[in-house]
Structure 1
Amino acid sequence: MTHDNKPLRGRTAIVTGSGRNIGRAIALDFARQGANVVINGHSNAAALEEVAAEARALGVEAMTAIVDVGDAAAVQGMVDAAAQRFGSVDIAVSNVSVREHTPFLDISVDDWQRVLNTNLSSAFYLARACLPHMKAKRWGRIIHISGRDGFSPKANRAHNVTCKAGTFALAKAIAIEFGEFGITANAVAPGIIDTVRDAAHYPAAGDVNGFEARRLAMPLRRLGDANDIAGACSYLCSTAGGYVTGQILHVNGGEFMF
């Protein structure tokens, strides 16, 4: 038996928010495994094209899509364009979120709707657009990049906490309804990942909430890397992960255990 070092050869993956950080790492890991990739972002066309060029250098096809994932029609258009170019969509990773810190009574109705649309409804829009293609092929992978907030909430983040818990539940609902078609749906919950974005929320190494203090408190004594999350996604798309569905995979260095 020969081992295929491109196990996702012939597959097509859409990764939202893939112009940088975790989304970029996921898209490029899929590309290394042979998948064609759709690189999505909201506005920075140059960043998207840079990631797409990196993917093409790995020997796959890549397209970019500047799309607001909170717009259901725009998401549908992105999926339709990908299916037209590549023949289908096999893997959908919802990786877009905003992080709001607002006391509960200061959250306006507009703020609530905006955060839910970006952090939760976007995952629904992407899955709804991709699932018919997956169902037709009787193979598909839905992955929501979520967070531990749905299990361990923090004050002043009610809208975000609700979304994180919602993505867990949405993955389970999809897993139940579409499992018979060879489709799995899971959520990946990162811990603190050493990215530009996380550094903005934990900026001071000497602070009690700083990166260094959090690192020293972890069983693995290190912060996460975007590639740790990419590896988790690749596992869920692999043959080895084919019997895993409706689950929340926590990737946090043991900082928070269940």
Structure 2
Amino acid sequence: MNKGAAFVVGGTGGLGSAICRRLSTEWDNIAIGYRSSREKALAVAASLQNGIGQALPVSCDLSNRDSIEAGIRATVDRFGTIGTMIFASGVEIPQPFVSKISEEQWREVIEIELIGFTRIVSATLPHFRTQGFGNFVAVVSVANYCFPPGDALSSVPKAGMEALGRAVAKEEGRYGIRANMVAPGIIDAGLGADFLKSLYSPEIWETQRKRIALQCFGSGEDIAESVAFLASDKAKYVTGQTLIVDGGFSL
């Protein structure tokens, strides 16, 4: 098992819940961060592998620094240490072209995703430094490597998240702290699953599927496996990196 608890921000979402389930096979304790639905967090806790030490639903509103700090404090009080902080949260984002994006839309996504991630990092780093270990894994986007038109509202804040992750890796490595990112491609989970059903026609999605080297869309479990690797001691000499998990979509 890995040291400390795993804290998953956005643990009730499609990707977040898959990450929680995967981490529960390697981590003694999981903190499931949620914004508004404790019931969903409890359902995720109930789905975790038998034998896990404890699953703790934790309120974690990314727009509220006090909420974040209280959630981290509750996790430390319960489990003693946090070994990994996973950021798998985000805003439900449409697919407008840049010319159609309003300032309000930019502000909402940047506030929750990019600024939210800065709040998570700022509130977690003191604990990691005190412990002398800990790592961040942020779920970002393959759009920063192979841009699909209409994805700017999602990809621009996540580019900032990647830059922050690399900064943390460079500056905090001396304290035993790592930071890495996972960039999903087209994933049939969470918002990706909704897009596959409602955003474009089946014919367009079939064309997109054929563009992927492996000829299939990914699953939440595919992303969870990569997150689990980067969060674990198996990746103890990996930091500041973005692992692209897209089946070859960006080739």
TM-score exceeds 0.5: yes
User: What secondary structure is seen at the aligned counterpart in 2 of 1:202?
Assistant: helix
2:42 paired residue among 16, 36, 49: 49
- Provide closer, same or farther for how the CA distance between residues 256 and 226 of structure 1 changes in structure 2, counting only shifts above 3 A: same
The percentage of counterpart residues that share the same residue type is 28
1:169-188 equivalence runs, <5 A: 169-188=163-182
Alignment of 1:1-258 (within 5 A): 7-8=1-2, 10-55=3-48, 57-98=50-91, 99-203=93-197, 207-210=202-205, 212-257=206-251
Q: Which amino acid aligns with 1:228?
A: D
> Any idea what the Cα deviations from partners look like across 1:14-65, whole Å, max 9, x if unmatched?
1111113211111121111133111122222221101112337332211112
Q: Which moved more, 1:182-191 or 1:37-46?
A: 37-46
Distance 2:14 2:188 in 1: 9
* Count of aligned pairs between the two proteins: 249
Cα 1:124–1:213 shift into 2, 3 Å: same
Q: Residue deviations 1:62-109, cap 9 Å, x none?
A: 111233212222111111111111112221011111223334344333
Distance 2:126 2:239 in 1: 18
Deviation string 1:169-208 (CA, Å, 9 cap, x unpaired) is 0110000111011111011000111125213212279634
1:96–1:31 distance in 2 versus 1, CA, 3 Å: same
User: How far is the alpha carbon of 1:156 from its aligned partner?
Assistant: 4.1
Residue pair 1:171, 1:186 contacting (<8 A) in 2 also: yes
Conservation of the 8 A alpha-carbon contact between 1:12 and 1:88? yes
Secondary structure in 2 aligned to 1:91?
strand
SS of aligned partner of 2:77:
helix
Q: Which amino acid aligns with 2:183?
A: A
In the alignment, the residues of structure 1 paired with residue 234 and residue 141 of structure 2 have an alpha-carbon distance, to the nearest angstrom, of 23
> What is the root-mean-square deviation of aligned Cα atoms in Å?
2.0
Unaligned runs of 5+ in 2: none
Contact kept, 8 Å, 1:97 with 1:118, in 2: the verdict is: yes
Work out the CA distance in 2 between the residues paired with 1:165 and 1:42.
Answer: 23
Q: Which runs of 4+ in 1 moved over 6 A?
A: none
Alpha-carbon displacement from aligned partner over 1:223-248 (angstroms, at most 9, x marks no partner): 21111111111111223211111111
**1:184 alignment partner AA:** R
Separation (CA, whole Å) in 1 of partners of 2:150 and 2:246:
22
Of the two structures, which has the highest relative contact order with CA contacts closer than 8 Å and spacing of 6 or more? 2
The answer as to whether partners of 1:90 and 1:133 remain within 8 angstroms in 2 is: no
- TM-score, length basis structure 2: 0.91
**Matching residue of 1:3:** none
Q: Which runs of 5+ in 1 are unaligned?
A: 1-6
Describe the shift of the 1:209–1:151 C-alpha distance in structure 2 as closer, same or farther (beyond 3 A).
Answer: same
* C-alpha contact (below 8 Å) 1:116/1:160 kept by paired residues: no
CA contact (8 A) 2:19 2:224 kept: yes
Q: Which amino acid aligns with 2:186?
A: I
**Paired residues of 2:88 and 2:139 also in contact (CA < 8 A):** yes
Distance in 2 (CA, whole Å) between partners of 1:23 and 1:111 is 23
Name the CA distance, whole Å, in 1 between partners of 2:28 and 2:108. 32
